[in-house]
Amino acid sequence: MQTSKSIPNDFIRQIIAEDLKISQVVTRFPPEPNGYLHIGHAKSICLNFDIATENAGRCYLRFDDTNPSKEDLEYVEAIKADIAWLGYSWTELRHSSDYFEQLNEYAIQLIKMNKAYVCSLTGEQIKQYRGTLKEPGENSPYRDRSVAENLEMFARMKAGEFADGEHVLRAKIDMAAPNINLRDPIIYRIKNLPHQMTGDKWCVYPMYDLTHCLSDAIEGVTHSLCTLEFEDHRPLYDWFLNVLQTPCHPKQIEFARLSLNYTVMSKRKLQELVENKLVSGWDDPRMPTLSGMRRRGYTPESIRDFCDRIGLTKNNTNIEMGVLENSIRSDLDPKTARVMAVLKPLRVVIENYPKESEQLDAPYHPNDPSMGSRQVTFSKVIYIEQDDFLEEPPKKFFRLAPGREVRLRYAYFITCQNVIKDENGEIVELRCTYDPATKGGSAPDGRKVKGTIHWVSAEHAVSAEVRLYDRLFNKPNPGTGGTDFKTALNPHSIEILPASKVEASLAHSKVGERFQFERQGYFCVDKDSAEKLVFNRTVTLRDSWAKIEKANKLS
């Protein structure tokens, strides 16, 4: 959990500070278990749990499980795991389905008060009767059923006498209300389906608008924090609580939902990607799900930091992916070991190297000696990055080229003497010489080199597969303008490098371990690692190599 961060002072916290004078704060996080949590949910999780902690209050985790056709225990378990991973613990675990009995009684109470009725219009007709934003709706012909008839009909609905959709229970409010949500909303529907928690007990299920406010009230929630699209439902939220005179009346406060550029954030869309096998699963490292981000190497701290940085507002805006990337970089930078890995190897033979090999000391962190160091093996045949050599280097290319001298990180200066090609003209090997006097990376005569590159010893390195990721979509707002969001999928969102080589110290890395591969970014060991280690790139570095080069020049 966060400890030292300063507490923001946004409008939601101001309202709560006021309300605190009268009661203990109780919040809840109410996911529907119909998919995995995404980074948008993290915003709501941080808000609800942090506010409870800041005020010595309580926060419930409540599964909003009123639609058995879409919900699944797999999702329940995944959601619990994700929240725990983020570092939060709920005061109590609840389900909306825990309250089915009470909700049923509240519904009967509404009927008895003549505030609810059984409507037998079809779904299509109900839509037609509802009217539009400009025109009022029309009363249902079933609106004036007697209380006795409504009680009997609702009892028969519960007894399983009808097919799905034959009848619904509706609140009796006002078919001419300017706010369409108040035009006799449906509060119970028939679904002849077993429920993951209640089994075959019910064949009628309460709708969101009835369930949410009453579940909040039953739990004694003081502040029901939700996203802006529920603003228009607030009058309905308050209507139920007023009419039913619940023991407490939680305050609904809305905030802007998180949307991130170049991705989608709806469980329905994410599910479509999974079902159509457009990604490898909910935890595909390209997904904005918490499980995907975890697998990719994101830390809980970085996600909480991100949620702090974006803050709370009343306007929906798109956040740049770069903000998220900065959060993970600044979290990993001070605590992640630097190691060397060559993603696309090019063989280099150091012709004048007299020995078989030698051990060189390499610190794990440039600014933190407490992280210690390891030995890297240097030898006559090494691999460097293909990209670090150009036969005809353009002006600002400071890495290896024919006749050019560069520094091998932690080792020596080498000079490229010869380029060996195969019959197709492809470069297969470089022949270089090294200067033994430059051990450790500087020349006693003070001569400078402009480039420093990383390397691994060919014989000692460990083979690995490296997976590089790019944005999942190539449009900032996939699916806008009436297009199918899937058409904006980025075909280059994953690049697999099966022939990578990592330094020997990584041989026994564990799934989930994180490293900085110098110059390449932050990486995390993937669960697919079996015979071969598989690394996911969490995020690229930015500028940090420029800093190392500068430091080397100064040294």
User: Which amino acids are annotated catalytic?
Assistant: 32, 257, 267
Q: Are strands 462-469 and 494-502 parallel, antiparallel or unpaired?
A: antiparallel
What are the structure tokens assigned to 283, written together? 């935890």
Rank residues 236 and 461 by Cβ distance to ligand ATP and give the closer one: 236
Neighbours of 505 (CB within 10 A): 19
28 binds ligand ATP (CB under 6 A): no
| Interface residue with ligand ATP, options 25, 31, 307, 339 (CB under 6 A) | 31
Query: Residue 43 touches which of ligand ATP, Mg ion, none (CB < 5 to 8 A by kind)?
Result: ligand ATP
297 binds ligand ATP (CB under 6 A): no
Least distance between ligand ATP and beta carbon 171 (Å): 21
44 binds ligand ATP (CB under 6 A): yes
| Interface residue with ligand ATP, options 94, 267, 338, 537 (CB under 6 A) | 267
Beta bridge partners of 38: 289
Helix, strand, or coil (residue 322): helix
Residue labelled with tokens 């029901």: 224
Rank residues 64 and 518 by Cβ distance to ligand ATP and give the closer one: 64
Q: Are strands 338-339 and 318-319 parallel, antiparallel or unpaired?
A: unpaired
Beta bridge partners of 168: 119, 189
Least distance between ligand ATP and beta carbon 207 (Å): 13
Query: Residue 41 touches which of Mg ion, ligand ATP, none (CB < 5 to 8 A by kind)?
Result: ligand ATP
Residue 415 parent element (H or E): strand 413-421
Helix, strand, or coil (residue 46): helix
Strands across the sheet containing 168-171: 116-119, 168-171, 186-190, 204-206
- C-alpha dihedral, 523 to 529 to 532 to 536, nearest 10°: -20
Rank residues 460 and 486 by Cβ distance to ligand ATP and give the closer one: 486
Residue labelled with tokens 């996203």: 227
Rank residues 43 and 514 by Cβ distance to ligand ATP and give the closer one: 43
Query: Residue 30 touches which of ligand ATP, Mg ion, none (CB < 5 to 8 A by kind)?
Result: ligand ATP
Instruction: Kindly give, in sequence order, each residue whose CB lies less than 8 Å from that of residue 132, ignoring residues fewer than 6 positions away.
Output: none
Least distance between ligand ATP and beta carbon 483 (Å): 19
Residue whose C-alpha is closest to residue 544's, from 517, 514, 505, 510: 517
What span, in angstroms and rounded, lies between the C-alpha atoms of 426 and 215? Answer: 68
Q: Which stretch binds ligand ATP (CB under 6 A): 30-38, 151-159, 433-441, 491-499?
A: 30-38
| Interface residue with ligand ATP, options 108, 265, 278, 458 (CB under 6 A) | 265
Binding site for Mg ion (CB under 5 A): 32
- C-alpha dihedral, 184 to 185 to 187 to 190, nearest 10°: 100
72 binds ligand ATP (CB under 6 A): no
Beta bridge partners of 466: 497, 535
Least distance between Mg ion and beta carbon 31 (Å): 8
Give the C-alpha distances (Å, rounded to integers) separating 435 from 380, 408, 414, 445: 13, 11, 6, 12
Half-sphere exposure of 397 (CA within 13 A, CB side): 13
234 binds ligand ATP (CB under 6 A): no
| Interface residue with ligand ATP, options 204, 258, 376, 414 (CB under 6 A) | 258
CB distance 335 to 329 below 8 Å:
no
Residues 77-106 that bind ligand ATP (CB under 6 A): none
Least distance between ligand ATP and beta carbon 270 (Å): 7
Residue whose C-alpha is closest to residue 538's, from 521, 526, 555: 521
Q: Which stretch binds ligand ATP (CB under 6 A): 38-46, 111-119, 373-381, 545-553?
A: 38-46
Least distance between Mg ion and beta carbon 457 (Å): 53
Beta bridge partners of 433: 415
Q: Which stretch binds ligand ATP (CB under 6 A): 185-193, 261-269, 334-342, 433-441?
A: 261-269
Query: Residue 80 touches which of Mg ion, ligand ATP, none (CB < 5 to 8 A by kind)?
Result: none
Residue labelled with tokens 């030995």: 375
| Interface residue with ligand ATP, options 13, 27, 30, 188 (CB under 6 A) | 30
Rank residues 39 and 346 by Cβ distance to ligand ATP and give the closer one: 39
Least distance between ligand ATP and beta carbon 312 (Å): 10
40 binds ligand ATP (CB under 6 A): yes
Per CB under 6 A, residues contacting ligand ATP are 30-32, 40-41, 43-44, 64, 226-227, 257-258, 265-267
